[in-house]
Amino acid sequence: MEFSIAPLKALSSLRSDCLVVFLQQSAEGSGLADAEAVDAAVAEARQDGDFTGAVGNTLLLGRVPGLAARRTLLVGLGAAPTDARAWRKAAAAACTALKGRAAAQVHLACADGQQPVIEAAVRAFGDFAYVYSATRKPDPDPACRVESVQILAPSRQAAAARARLDRAVAVQAGVDLCRNLANLPGNHCTPAHLGKVAQDLGKRHKLKVEVLGRAEIERERMGALLAVAQGSQQPPRFIVLRYEGAAKKQAPHVLVGKGVTFDSGGISLKPGAEMDEMKFDMCGAASVLGAFEALARLRPAINVVGLIPATENLPGGTAVKPGDVVTSRSGQTIEILNTDAEGRLILCDALNYAERFKPASVVDIATLTGACVIALGHVNSGLFSPDDALAEALLESGRQTQDPCWRMPLGEDYAEGLRSRFADVANIAGRAGGSVTAACFLQRFTKAYRWAHLDIAGTAWKSGAEKGATGRPVPLLVHYLLAQEQGASPR
């Protein structure tokens, strides 16, 4: 789908398969210039009770007298049209109204050329158009038949609108990459495949990419990652991406993504029901690659490093066993009480590796615990950090992008449960507060820098009839990184 900015001129002569007009609930008309025909249609629809202007309320009209557009779609913004959530809901409602309609070319209009329509439209129409096709034939009757979306903007706002559109399109490209990777089945998306995707990304955008194999991982003494990998015939990978947009002396921000391409639980085998969804256990890794796709398109003046430990977690004669003790890259020994708590094991080696970059901040992203789903459901990602300023920056990025997270506690009292009689630390505590104790485990390996952890187990994918990856938290991550550009020294 193509997105562009078009000049906001006379609506009466605008030729379009569908003119979408966003309207405030309290406004009598559209607020647009030369829109008498639209205003008349709105007034009639309100009088007949067919359109209220409430958030997400829609009315699809045929040919409106005085308009050249084949169809006109009225979409309500509610009483608070500056609210990003209202815009997202309204744009999604517009897509629903166009489902199955033969409307290849769509134009969007709103009073004063309001800029929030750009992010909302790109996100909603991008999701509307998304179709997974890597391992299946395309649908002969697709729900989305929209080919291009043109957002109408006054000439005085055109430059700003185009810049905002470029950013939104780049983020959506990152979201799509994340979803495409995460939706692949485990026999296609192996650790080696993630490494190849990273290398292809590097070639396409001139990024520095290293993919470490088993021998290099052994030389790095990543005993925790190797322990998880030893039950699988698929060799592990450790992927390092570098985006360099600022001076070399500028400390980078580091993203660490959990890349378990299939998680059976290992010897601590998961229940069979819905185990197929454990292909999504690499959504953290996919979100890092998606964020780099967006960064490479936008070229901000910052430095960013991406680290992805990638492996399968399978049972077998060589698999790690409950009670085994392994030595992590940091030198700390770990008693593995549950082999299904493997994400924290591969992340702890990556977090220790991150020290070499002397980072400005480190954010790890992982589908880490079912406990986080119980605590927060599928709305908010779990956010853990001992750093108030870093936590607030991530929370604000979540609010701005409608990709929300919720700050959870940390502390020594929670970490008490990780004590072990046979190692420096155990990989699990009791059942209570499982997402918190998992974060406390990771915190042991992050003393050298500012750190935050995002548990995306409840937000990275959907189950049921809409089963599939969501692309979260790519929008949050990109917004956070772009916000760090201020004060950075350009190259």
Report pLDDT for 327: 98
Q: DSSP string of 438-484?
A: HHHHHHTT-TTS-EEEEE-TTTSEE-GGG-EE--TTHHHHHHHHHHT
CA distance 398 to 392: 10
- Those residues of the chain that have pLDDT short of 70 are 81-82, 112-114, 487-491
Report pLDDT for 280: 98
For the chain, the distance separating the N- and C-terminal CA atoms, rounded to the nearest angstrom, is 34
Q: Is 179 a catalytic residue?
A: no
Q: Go through the domains of the chain in sequence order and give each one's CATH number.
A: 2-154 (3.40.220.10), 172-483 (3.40.630.10)
Report pLDDT for 488: 63
* pLDDT tens digits along 246-262: 999 999 999 999 999 99
Residue 417: strand, helix, or coil: helix
Q: Is 279 a catalytic residue?
A: no
| Number of Cβ within a 10 Å radius of residue 435 | 23
The H or E element spanning position 118 is helix 116-129
Report pLDDT for 210: 98
CA distance 222 to 8: 57
Report pLDDT for 79: 85
Which residue is catalytic, options 270, 399, 407, 450? 270
> By the 8 A CB rule, do 44 and 192 touch?
no
Report pLDDT for 108: 96
Which residue is catalytic, options 279, 344, 444, 472? 344
